[in-house]
Amino acid sequence: QVQLVESGGGLVQPGGSLRLSCAASGMLFRLYNMGWYRQAPGKQREWVATIGSGSIIDYADSILGRFTISRDNAKNTVYLQMNSLKPEDTAVYYCNGANTRWGHNYWGRGTQVTVSS
């Protein structure tokens, strides 16, 4: 049974930092493209960043230069380091694991990030 569990969210002031973690189980983690998405109240879910099974990284323009995605295959974990946080970063952040060849697409339940003074 596949499970993705996010952690590390919370309340932070503008300009602050948080590091999100996503622990995966029940899947061949190293063969999956991993990503982070977020959904703010009243808005559609948007893509934030991905790190492929070959460690190729892509970022959304909205967070470029502020967030860093990384993975540790030995720990079956993907991270999102968030710096210089802005109020508009407030959202529920979701972890995603995908393997296109197998048609597999998994989601975590999300972790709340609130940026407010």
Q: Kindly write down the DSSP assignment for every residue of 47-100, as one continuous string.
A: EEEEE-TT--EEE-TTTTTTEEEEEEGGGTEEEEEE-S--GGG-EEEEEEEEET
| pLDDT tens track for 58-104 | 999 999 999 999 999 999 999 999 999 999 999 999 999 999 999 99
Residue-averaged pLDDT of the chain: 97
What element of type H or E holds 115? strand 111-115
pLDDT at residue 52, rounded to an integer: 97
